[in-house]
Structures are given as structure tokens and as C-alpha cells.
Amino acid sequence: MAVGIFDSGLGGLTVLNAAQQRLPDVDFLYFADSAHAPYGVRDAQNIYELTKAAVTQLWDSGCNLVILACNTASAAALRRIQEEGVPPGKRVLGVFVPLIEALTERQWGDNSPPREVEVKHVALFATPATVASRAFQRELAFRAIGVDVEAQACGGVVDAIEDGDLILAEALVRSHVDALKRKMPDPQAAILGCTHYPLMEQTFQDALGADVQVYSQGALVAESLADYLQRHPDMIGEGAGGYLTTGNPARVSDRATQFLRRQIRFDAA
């Protein structure tokens, strides 16, 4: 039995790794749409079409629950997929929820009016498509007031990570943090709004300074998933776990093994 985890490339491995550690008895089927990565520079319609095709394949593979471990897909496609209707017994969830729960210190099911929270100045680092969607700000506004969010589109970071060029990725992260701090000199918290970015978490932290709280998604999503599966055990679907990619399986396997520092073997989707 497996839960599906989808990402445009390898960034979702940060979520997968945390989920596997938190839920060692659950199998996961990971789908990387590497042939079309990165999503962050695509338009909303194209992101929706690619995401819907991947999610449908995971459903067809026996996954009742699919996690969009991709902020760009969550921002541009999740709501539309949900509103258009999903097959009976199937669900698709995004990764904004645990971040906003942590930032606002309230549960997702808490439908009370928005209230003031301790953190007032938040830096959001995300792909150009996620920034353009303003999905994070919209969801945050339902739950908190008085929070100033300054978004920085981090062009090039995902490409560098996918190519395995971590030196370039580090340089780009420092450049994007500098650009953000010119607009918001003293952020209290920073959201790493792309599942690739936890691979650069220490670089973000060093560039931002030790007094800035950095919110990374892996552990937050894993804990939220554990709670969800405890309440909805039927969402652990049928089918085996594994790794699928639309890209070159050998190349993607090499990159994944490098990221997770353990042997990973992808098969063709």
C-alpha cells in the first residue's frame, strides 16, 4: 500500500525523506516529472495540465492520497484539481497547509476569524510561478492579520539543484537573500516555499542571520501527513512504493542518490 508524492523534479525528496522517517511502515510512490522541470517558469495552465496528468497516474497506480510536494503545483493547480472533482475515495493535498499552521500556530480546521500573530515580517522565497500566484499570501490572510509578507522569486536555484551544481545554487541563494533584504531589511521569519530549497537551508540561514527563524517544509509536512493518516487510514491506498520519473531514469537516480546520500533507483513513468 502506498501514498503518492509528486514533484516536478527532485525537490520533493526532502518531503519524502522526512515522511519515510516519520512513517516507516508506510510505502510511498514518488513521481518526478523531471522531463518538464522546472515548473516555476511555466504558466498556470501548463502547470495544471502537467500536474493533473501526474496525479492521475498516481491515482491509477493505486494511491488513494497524493501529496503535491511541489509548491508551484500546489499554488497553480491544487485548487483547480479539487474544484473540478476527484475520483471517489481519492484525495490530493498540497504543502502550504503545514507551513501556515506552523506560522500562525493554529490548526487548519480552525475556522475562527483571522487574528494577529507574533511574527509580523515574513520573507517568502519561492519560484517565480509561486510568487506570481500569491497563493501563500491568500491562504495566510484567511488565518492571520497584520503580517507583512515580502516575496522573492528565486530564479535559477531549482535548475542549479536539478543539475547538481550546488556551488551555483549557493551563490544564487545568497544573491536572492540580498535582494530580499533590500526590500525587507529585518525579516523575523523566512519561508522556504519550494521543496528544493531545504537542500540549501543552511545557506539560507547563514545569509539571513541566526536571528531569523527559517521554516522548512519536510518535517512539517511529514508530521501533518502522520496526523492525517491517523484520522483517515483508508487513504493508505493499494499498490507498491517506488520511484518514477518522466526523465532519464539513470540520470535522475544518480542525482537522487547524491541528494539523499543513499541508493535510489528510478523507473520510467
Per the CB < 8 A criterion, the answer to whether 257 and 264 are in contact is yes
Q: Which CATH class is domain 97-216?
A: alpha beta
Integer Cα distance of 97 and 103 in angstroms: 10
- The reply to whether domains 2-95+218-268 and 97-216 share a CATH topology is yes
Catalytic residues, by residue number, are 70, 194
CATH of domain 2-95+218-268: 3.40.50.1860
Q: Across residues 10-35, what is the average pLDDT?
A: 95
pLDDT at 155 over 90: yes
Q: Across residues 236-240, what is the average pLDDT?
A: 74
What cell numbers appear for 46 in the block?
Answer: 501548463
pLDDT at 122: 97
Confidence band, pLDDT 50/70/90 cuts, at residue 109: low
pLDDT at 110: 73
List of residues 6+ apart from 230 with CB closer than 8 A: none
Answer with the residue of higher pLDDT: 42 or 237: 42
Helix (H) or strand (E) holding 230: helix 217-231
* Whether this model's pTM surpasses 0.85: yes
State how far the alpha carbon of 76 is from the alpha carbons of 29, 39, 92, 117, 133, in Å. Answer: 22, 10, 14, 27, 7
pLDDT at 237: 67
State pLDDT tens for residues 51-98: 999 999 999 999 999 999 999 999 999 999 999 999 999 999 999 888
pLDDT at 106: 78
State how far the alpha carbon of 128 is from the alpha carbons of 193, 203, 206, in Å. Answer: 11, 20, 23
Q: Which region holds residue 44: left if phi is over 0, alpha if psi is between -120 and 50, else beta?
A: alpha
- One-letter amino acid of 193: G
pLDDT at 175: 98
pLDDT at 42: 94
- Residue identified by cell 529585518 is 186
The domain ranges of the chain are: 2-95+218-268, 97-216
Integer Cα distance of 218 and 215 in angstroms: 9
